Amino acid sequence: MTRPSRLRPDELDPAARAVYDAIASGPRAGSGLVHDDGSLRGPFDAMLRHSAVGGPLQALGAALRYGGELSDRARELVILRVAGVRDSRFERATHEPIARRAGLTDDELAGLAADAVVPWPDPVERTADTAARALLHHDPVDDDTYRAWTDVLGEARLVEVTALVGYYGLLADLLRVFAPEA
């Protein structure tokens, strides 16, 4: 059996079409996620295959990208840390231009791609990256670590970092399994 071909909008049932519309015309509209034939790029095509999961999943992604408390720089560095560790070329290609617009340098981007320690001057960025890296490498999170992270990030931004790591890890897995074209 071969991997599924991309779904076009005219092939979708009403529930999947609602997920499609939320992705294609929501806050991601105009970001290059739609192929010329109307199908979705990257992991978003996989979300259409189970609308009861894909709908909340795309809503979580939109909330993390457009409704979070982290700065654009901090959010993008976490996303790109996940992309580097999980070898998600699609997410790197999608988010590196966004990260550059947010002010990340070529050296910082290279460090994230190589899973290297990056010397972030901003304590929030440094702590967000430290937490993301620890989560990705399954490092223990003891009480002292939790306290150090929440002292800088607060609980809400720590929830956001943790959710970003999980969400973008899940997208990397959707890409690995369904192998949609970027």
pTM given for the model: 0.94
Whole-angstrom Cα distance, residue 125 to residue 127? 5
Domain boundaries, given as residue ranges, for the chain: 12-66, 72-178
Whole-angstrom Cα distance, residue 19 to residue 57? 10
pLDDT in tens, 127-146: 999 999 999 999 999 999 99
**CATH code linked to domain 72-178:** 1.20.1290.10
8 Å CB contact between 67 and 163: no
- pLDDT value, residue 28: 82
- pLDDT value, residue 53: 97
Instruction: Check whether 19 has a pLDDT greater than 60.
Output: yes
